[in-house]
Structure 1
Amino acid sequence: MSIQLEILSLTRLICGVCSIVYALEKLLYKKPTHDLLSWEVLQLRHPIFIKIPIFNQLCAEKGIKIVTIVFLIGSIISIVTDIELLLILCYFMMSMCLLIFSARSAYGMDGSDQVIFIIATCLFFIYLHNTVIIRHIAFTFITLQLLFSYFISGYAKLTAKVWRNGEALVGIMGNDIYGNENVYTLLSQNIKISQVLSWVVFGWEALFFICIFCNQHVFICFIIVGFLFHLTNAIVMGLNTFFLAFVACYFPLIHCYLLVHSDAVFSFQVLGYQVFIV
């Protein structure tokens, strides 16, 4: 198997696992049927689409569960099959489901939704015409999206005073949705620790794009820090899909690193796959 196909297999695997976790979280999360974020209220944002019966039905409470189950089935099939026609149908179906989720959500797509959508759409185009050049284009697009997302996030934090002085991180740890009581207590009592962690986070994010031009040791360090960063967020804040979605992007990043550094030589093993950069 070529390096490019190994990277494709790993990207597909992690994307599939991430999508399964995403679907299960949506199915298991219980929220009030009638509240300010119910479809009865949210549909008012879509005066054109709600006139289409099928769209309105899919976004209603029962319909969105069916869409989520379809998304879950597509995610599972995308992992277990190698039949390209099935993979094309799975990734098309997953992308469409994500668009429906976005329309149904009061906030549109969040970061992990967007990353899953980008990867699923790129995989759809890859299997629609599975050639070396299409894989090059798709992997490069995913990598550019990854680098831009990190840079924009890091730059936005850098320009915000509440991030530079550590207050933002304390506030995040203290909220009801993504917070962690133990971490909040630690950081609120030691603002200097919060400030140092904040600078590490947005400094790493803003500078992440340089990894593509660095030697292999610096490149690997950036990847390891990224893996640990998202893993920590998953453990502390419950951002499981963020962890898996961004890790899935690291494999196309490796592919682009290979293109930039034709003389790079190193290898590592992930989930039984031996990945070589040569």
Structure 2
Amino acid sequence: MTLDLALRLTEILLALAFMQQSAEHLAGLRDEQVIYGPRLIMSGFLLFGIATPWVLLGLLGLGLLILQRFQGPYNGGSDKMSLLVLCCLTAARWLPSEQWQEYAFAYLAGQLVICYFISGQVKIVNPEWRSGRALQDVFRFSAYPVSEDLRGLADRPRLLWFMGWAVMLFEVLFPLALFSRETLVLALFTAALFHLANACLFGLNRFFWIWLAAYPSLVWLQDRVVL
């Protein structure tokens, strides 16, 4: 995959993620509409490749206003990933040499790998995750399940134990996927299904598009460094 193609795919996926996030705030408070209305319009420009470098700068400026408005990344991991993708993409479009553009885009790919690995490492050292108790508590007590019927899964400890270990092993072993194109494609497809399942089960819909937006950088980097 060429750098230009990977950047363009990232722009499209980032635009979709931002359009989804912005639409959630259009019915909110007035000061939110003032920020997210222009963000939605700029995301449309980004989707169709209109004045892309300048649109990215504008989105970055709005991103800083959003941080100020909510006193930080109020939605946690998805907001942090949104800023990471946006900053790396903006740098890759504005840096003067192709070498530095590649460095900026490679940084995004590296952070994606680290993100999955650290997430798995944190879980696997936690005895509640190893025993399956963590997922039981999520389904039984948290506000995340999108349906009350899903709380019944808390009474299936063997299934949740298997699900927990499947997630942990996938995340800690994710860096190994870089050794071949086939394993990387399979790993990214699996990761996308994981985020889709989180959206369906727990309502974590923001994580789906924004994590997918980082995937082209990893496919590009694997092509770039693996012979």
Per the TM superposition, whether the score is higher than 0.5 is yes
Q: Give the Cα–Cα distance (whole angstroms) in 1 for the partners of residues 124 and 142 of structure 2.
A: 25
Match in the other structure for 1:141? 107
Structure 1 unmatched ranges of 5 or more: 31-60, 263-278
CA displacement, residues 17-49 of structure 1 (integer Å, 9 cap, x when unaligned): 001101112334x6xxxxxxxxxxxxxxxxxxx
User: Is residue 95–residue 117 contact of structure 1 (8 Å, CA) maintained in 2?
Assistant: yes
In structure 1, what residue type is equivalent to 2:76? D
Match in the other structure for 1:183? 150
CA displacement, residues 62-119 of structure 1 (integer Å, 9 cap, x when unaligned): 32331222322222222223324533433333432342355166xx451110111011
Structure 2 unmatched ranges of 5 or more: none
Q: What is the RMSD computed on CA atoms of the aligned residues?
A: 2.1
TM-score (norm 2): 0.89
Q: Which moved more, 1:88-97 or 1:219-228?
A: 88-97
CA displacement, residues 136-160 of structure 1 (integer Å, 9 cap, x when unaligned): 1122111111111111111111111
In structure 1, what residue type is equivalent to 2:10? T
Match in the other structure for 1:230? 195
In structure 2, what residue type is equivalent to 1:75? S
Q: 3-state DSSP class of the match of 2:145?
A: coil
Q: 3-state DSSP class of the match of 1:26?
A: coil
**1:175/1:79 Cα in 2 relative to 1: closer, same or farther (>3 Å)?**
farther
Q: Give the Cα–Cα distance (whole angstroms) in 1 for the partners of residues 114 and 163 of structure 2.
A: 21
**1:10/1:114 Cα in 2 relative to 1: closer, same or farther (>3 Å)?**
same
**Aligned pairs (5 A) from 1:86-235:** 86-103=54-71, 108=74, 110-129=76-95, 131-175=97-141, 177-180=143-146, 181-185=148-152, 187-212=153-178, 214-235=179-200
Q: Give the Cα–Cα distance (whole angstroms) in 2 for the partners of residues 26 and 189 of structure 1.
A: 36
Q: 3-state DSSP class of the match of 2:143?
A: coil
**1:88/1:258 Cα in 2 relative to 1: closer, same or farther (>3 Å)?**
same
Q: Give the Cα–Cα distance (whole angstroms) in 1 for the partners of residues 19 and 174 of structure 2.
A: 28
User: Is residue 68–residue 97 contact of structure 1 (8 Å, CA) maintained in 2?
Assistant: no
**Aligned pairs (5 A) from 1:17-28:** 17-28=16-27
Q: Give the Cα–Cα distance (whole angstroms) in 2 for the partners of residues 71 and 27 of structure 1.
A: 10
For the pair 1:5 / 2:16, whether they are aligned, the reply is: no
Q: Give the Cα–Cα distance (whole angstroms) in 1 for the partners of residues 13 and 101 of structure 2.
A: 17
User: Is residue 56–residue 86 contact of structure 2 (8 Å, CA) maintained in 1?
Assistant: no
In structure 1, what residue type is equivalent to 2:99? I
In structure 2, what residue type is equivalent to 1:217? E
Q: Give the Cα–Cα distance (whole angstroms) in 2 for the partners of residues 215 and 223 of structure 1.
A: 12
User: Is residue 78–residue 90 contact of structure 1 (8 Å, CA) maintained in 2?
Assistant: no
- Larger helix percent: 2
**Aligned pairs (5 A) from 1:31-110:** 61-103=29-71, 108=74, 110=76
Q: Which has the higher contact order (CA 8 A, sep 6+)?
A: 2
Q: Which has the larger radius of gyration?
A: 1
Q: 3-state DSSP class of the match of 2:214?
A: helix
In structure 2, what residue type is equivalent to 1:81? G
User: Is residue 139–residue 154 contact of structure 2 (8 Å, CA) maintained in 1?
Assistant: no
User: Is residue 151–residue 207 contact of structure 1 (8 Å, CA) maintained in 2?
Assistant: yes
Q: 3-state DSSP class of the match of 1:27?
A: coil
Give 1:161 deviation, angstroms.
1.4
CA displacement, residues 128-184 of structure 1 (integer Å, 9 cap, x when unaligned): 236422331122111111111111111111111111111211222234532143332
The percentage of aligned residue pairs carrying the same residue is 23
TM-score (norm 1): 0.74
